[in-house]
Structure 1
């Protein structure tokens, strides 16, 4: 068994992808492609290299469309067991297999959360270590605190605005109208 993700394995001898109780059989060509991709993880592979590795002697009669279809099928099967975004396309060149991240392998998938029958409908798969997520997590509490402080002090701010330009007054009027609509 070859580990291809968190609790996800490729059983080469049985041509199957396994995650828990889920087993997905793959074709012989998908197996050859996956084995070659796994042996060359992180390396850019040309279409020609992949075609030769899968079709061997018949490679001279194979067109790019055959490889594209095979990549599609393999991606679909990997996605079915929860291994997402591993095979990346390098436009006009070929493909690269991205190995699993050691510290970021756990997926944050809010669309699958069923703890309280919640379905947030969005997926942050493989983004646990991304700067965007970290910044978002840090930014949300700031916005909440700012909103609470602003809401509690809106009348004081409005009084102070009287000392400033009419534009400031218009801005405060807009903010007040928005707050009134929310009530």
Structure 2
């Protein structure tokens, strides 16, 4: 299995699945979530609306994950996870770790062999880049289930890239 950190745009990743740092509504937002929805086109929003109408009427809980198709993205699936919002008092690292492990659970259920993660909660949700990197890498390394052959952290800034590379170096 390969785990790496790269600089880039997660919407262009040619992997089986990408992880969306979504909000609980699943209906799009800013940052990574907005970029994924914009690049995926209307099919992604339609699938998210269908999830809200059927199985997730109250939205996706913090720390959980769910998959949809990928619309116009080059991947097959988008795995949506809701990170904890530090500004709203959600400061438990276990909630953040759950975003990564639940995403891995969903990826395993899908049969995904390659997966790209963003730095969940490191943007507008106010978590420190180093803490997100440490929690994410520990969650992926400690995951007991079937992991994809390739796991890539795709990061949009040099600060995040440095934090994830340091966490991977251990």
With structure 1 as the length reference, what TM-score do the two structures score? 0.23
Structure with the bigger percentage of helix: 1
Q: Which has the larger radius of gyration?
A: 1
Q: Greater relative contact order (Cα 8 A, min sep 6): structure 1 or 2?
A: 2
Structure with the bigger percentage of strand: 2
